[in-house]
């Protein structure tokens, strides 16, 4: 299903670079356009990518900035890349969910793991 969607996006001239590795010049162009206050949809068209991939790339860049400089806050990174803190937090939550799903898929679930996850959920609720 994903492969079919990606194939269709690559056949479309406006999104022909969808799913491809980011080149250094594309990253530089992305940052320049963000600094010039170009909106995500227009950047996506110029770079022949989807608006979702542009937003995701900005989120990844924000998280990388925070990892490299621990004095940078989530708010500062979001402001620099003109995304919201909610976008970053949603990305992080989805990433954790994907990692957990992959982990559960690759490892047999045992009662101790289920108990540990329930304790973690309970602690977050309290």
Boundaries of domain holding 72: 1-83
Q: What is the pLDDT at residue 102?
A: 80
Question: How many domains does the chain divide into?
Answer: 2
Query: Closest by alpha carbon to 9, among 55, 58, 48?
Result: 48
Cα–Cα dist 60/97, whole Å: 17
Are 78 and 96 contained in the same domain? no
Considering the chain, what percentage of its residues have pLDDT values greater than 90?
67
19-53 pLDDT, tens digit per residue, is 889 999 999 999 999 999 999 999 999 999 999 99
The crossing angle, in degrees rounded to 10, of helices 51-68 and 85-106 is 90
Output the furthest CA–CA distance in the chain (Å, rounded). Answer: 53
Are 44 and 102 contained in the same domain? no
Cα–Cα dist 80/84, whole Å: 10
> Is 118's pLDDT higher than 90?
yes
The pTM (predicted TM-score) of the whole model is 0.76
88-113 pLDDT, tens digit per residue, is 999 999 999 988 888 777 776 677 88
Are 102 and 117 contained in the same domain? yes
């Amino acid at each position: 299903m994903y492969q079919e969607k990606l194939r269709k996006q690559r056949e479309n001239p406006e999104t022909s670079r969808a799913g491809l590795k980011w080149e250094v010049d594309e990253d530089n162009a992305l940052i320049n356009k963000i600094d010039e206050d170009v909106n995500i949809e227009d950047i996506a068209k110029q770079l022949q990518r989807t608006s979702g991939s542009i937003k995701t790339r900005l989120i990844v860049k924000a998280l990388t900035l925070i990892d490299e400089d621990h004095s940078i806050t989530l708010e500062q990174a979001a402001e620099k890349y003109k995304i919201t803190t909610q976008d970053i937090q949603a990305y992080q939550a989805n990433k954790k969910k994907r990692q957990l799903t992959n982990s559960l898929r690759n490892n047999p679930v045992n009662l101790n793991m289920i108990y540990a996850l329930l304790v973690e959920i309970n602690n977050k609720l309290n």
